[in-house]
Amino acid sequence: MTMSTFSKRSIAGLMLLGMIIPALAACGGAPAAAPIKETVVVVQTAPPEVQTVVVAPTADANATAAPEATAEPTVSEAFSTPHPILGDVKVRQAIAYCSNRPEMIASVYPFLSTEEQASLLMDTNVPKGHWAEATDGITTYPFDAEKGMALLDEAGWKDDGSGVRANEAGDPLSLSFTTTNAQFRQTWSAVFIQQMAACGIQIIPTYAPASWWFGNSTGLRHRDFELGAYAWVGEPDPKGQTLYACNQIPLPSNGWEGQNYMGWCNEKASQAILAANNTLDRAERIKQYAIFEQEFTKDMVSLPLFNRTEAAAASNNVEGFKPNATEYYTANIGEWKLKSGDTVVLGFTQEPSSLWGTIESSASQRIPAFLISSVSFTKYDYDYQAVDLKQLPKLDNGGATNTDIEVKAGDKVWNTDGEPVDLAPGVKVVNAAGETVTYESGTVTMKQLAVTFEYNEGIKWEDGQPLVKADFELANKIDCDPESGAQDYTICKSTAKVDFLSDTSYTVTYLPGVQWPEYFIYAIGAYPAHQVLSDGRKLADVPAKEWQTLTEITEKPLSTGPYVIDSWVKGQSMTFSANPNYYKGAPAISKVVIKFIADTNQAVAQLLTGEVDVLGNETLGGGAEVQQVLEAAKKGDLQAFTIASPTWEHIDMNMFVK
């Protein structure tokens, strides 16, 4: 799931004012900001909030990083039974050793050189060359089938000559494998299945529709899998707390909140990922990420496979097309031009289920969202650029403050577990000096972060009404409401107060102890508080639990961006026209059509015949069809761009059964 978002405030309004985009990043696969085929983008945000059960592991939290079997966590509820196969770390490690990842890479990128293929292989959850990548103390898993089979023998799964190993009870070593029906994944997973068979592991594949696999109440989110493959979207900041912390395990009891789909709870890793995301000191972050990566690779709960190499293409008629590894290509669509004509057609192989970013965070949602949303900032080239914000509010430009304050018993603070708590004896916090201390009595000095977001003047809704303070207030209210349907409310829970200063500015003050590294992008979105719905109610009066049912929110939201949505014919197309009230002026291209084409090869064919003008990396991806596009570009028939994507494929291992 590539992912997506987050007051995460759902981190909903992180980037877009009008159509708030959530930070769920995760899922189906592709470029940093534009996951391939069926990617649910994870713009993971700060430490996960803790309103859920904390799963306590029985393993020693101070254990070394040696690849030894460790005791597994337990919970006293659904998903509390260790998986009879994957609950054993030796089996998980065996799967890693039996996986010939270079062979998988070659299956989907045959047009790359051996060296280029090798550069894509990942050992941890952080891409190679990233500032947070750990190289010391991690456990690596080079292809070694003999070592993998030896581990299976130790775990009691013997080879009886039938081709499928079995335990003493005669149970076969058989696992289900679930992923999307994208041809890209079917290709590399077929290689994976053969590799597992060579080690005596039977894999039963299910290639599910992305709508089910990444659905709000199905598939991955409800942990309905044993082995599950998808992609996470790399970001300028590694984040990761919503993916791996102990309190981010989705369970029925917490409304399936969180993205730790493996059910993995390693206290040492959990504390490290929280610490890495609760300091503004990069050196300390690198140290904590290294601790996390050591534990992550030792426990082998998720097998990193490879970074995607992707491509995007456009007709020679399109000017201004600017694909980028870490931003969606429609982020600058208001600047595009056509050499002739007035309509540009984008080809999609995946259709969004909703345009409301709080509940849908796939690439197929986020790309059209840029058409109808005012953009607070962009994130080109692993960095951030202010767009509709006057500036990115940072400590060094006066947009933010990080003040020392004295707190006492009873004050609400942010503890070292990434939770909002009342300060009391025994509570662990990080003091202003950056030290972890256990509160006993009296006062303690802590840091309190406050960030002021200021927007450009003149931003309007498509009906001509100006963006006003009430719109920000409504977004803050809805996206922080537990009934809105967001995956987590971390930023909301970490906020002490929000002061809405004017129609263009507000200040977010966090609880003492909150030190989000990317504090300058956690903006609040905006909803048109004045809008009157078809049933006569004002949008501002509709309870959060009903928003998922509102056509005005999910299918035809009011725009603040360069375009407005005219129609959405399910299964066929979306049509957008230029917004006459866009505050930067109407875009040069008067009409945008998003055409849904189920098959990537057919999409490429339509690009070559001129029926489609643009195929982004979320559609074109990096499969064999890319070679055809690159060859056409060499002949001058179209524009093609190869993209070194930070999106990475991986296989999660569900450690518990229902």
pLDDT digits (tens, 9 = 90+) for 465-479: 999 999 999 999 999
**327 and 216 assigned to the same domain:** no
Taking the C-alpha atoms of residue 558 and residue 555, their distance in angstroms, rounded to an integer, is: 10
pLDDT at 104 over 90: yes
What local confidence, expressed as pLDDT, does residue 657 receive?
92
Is 511 inside a domain boundary? no
Average pLDDT over residues 65-88: 65
Contact 223/250 with Cβ under 8 angstroms? yes
Is 479 inside a domain boundary? no
pLDDT at 168 over 90: yes
Q: Domain total for the chain? A: 2
pLDDT at 51 over 50: no
Residues forming beta bridges with residue 135, ordered by sequence position: none
**631 and 582 assigned to the same domain:** yes
- H-helix or E-strand spanning residue 290: helix 282-299
**276 and 357 assigned to the same domain:** no
3-state DSSP call for residue 347?
strand
Which residues contact residue 29 at a Cβ distance below 8 angstroms, ignoring those fewer than 6 apart? Answer: 1, 2, 35, 36, 37, 38, 39, 180, 182, 184, 185, 230, 231, 308, 621, 647, 649
**222 and 137 assigned to the same domain:** yes
pLDDT at 10 over 80: no
Per cent of the chain over pLDDT 70 is 88
**371 and 265 assigned to the same domain:** no
**371-386 burial by CB neighbour count: b if 16+ within 10 A, else e?**
bbbbbbbbbbebebeb
Q: Which residue has the higher pLDDT, 496 or 374?
A: 496
CATH of the domain at 621: 3.40.190.10
**181 and 260 assigned to the same domain:** yes
Is 462 inside a domain boundary? no
User: For residue 172, what is the DSSP state?
Assistant: B
pLDDT at 140 over 90: yes
Is the Cα dihedral 368, 371, 376, 381 positive or negative?
positive
Is 335 inside a domain boundary? yes
Domain that holds residue 43: 2-308+650-657
**300 and 318 assigned to the same domain:** no
pLDDT at 68 over 80: no
**281 and 320 assigned to the same domain:** no
**258 and 315 assigned to the same domain:** no
Is 408 inside a domain boundary? no
pLDDT at 54 over 50: no
CA angle 117, 123, 126 (to 5 degrees): 100
Confidence of residue 325 (pLDDT cuts 50, 70, 90): confident
Is 442 inside a domain boundary? no
**238 and 356 assigned to the same domain:** no
Contact 80/72 with Cβ under 8 angstroms? no
Contact 331/162 with Cβ under 8 angstroms? no
Is 430 inside a domain boundary? no
What local confidence, expressed as pLDDT, does residue 487 receive?
67
**39 and 84 assigned to the same domain:** yes
What local confidence, expressed as pLDDT, does residue 281 receive?
78
Q: What is the DSSP track for 534-583?
A: TTS-BGGGS-GGGGGG-HHHHTSPPP-SSEEEEEEETTTEEEEEE-TT-T
Is 175 inside a domain boundary? yes
Taking the C-alpha atoms of residue 283 and residue 119, their distance in angstroms, rounded to an integer, is: 26
Contact 610/342 with Cβ under 8 angstroms? no
**293 and 333 assigned to the same domain:** no
- H-helix or E-strand spanning residue 24: strand 23-26
Average pLDDT over residues 235-243: 88
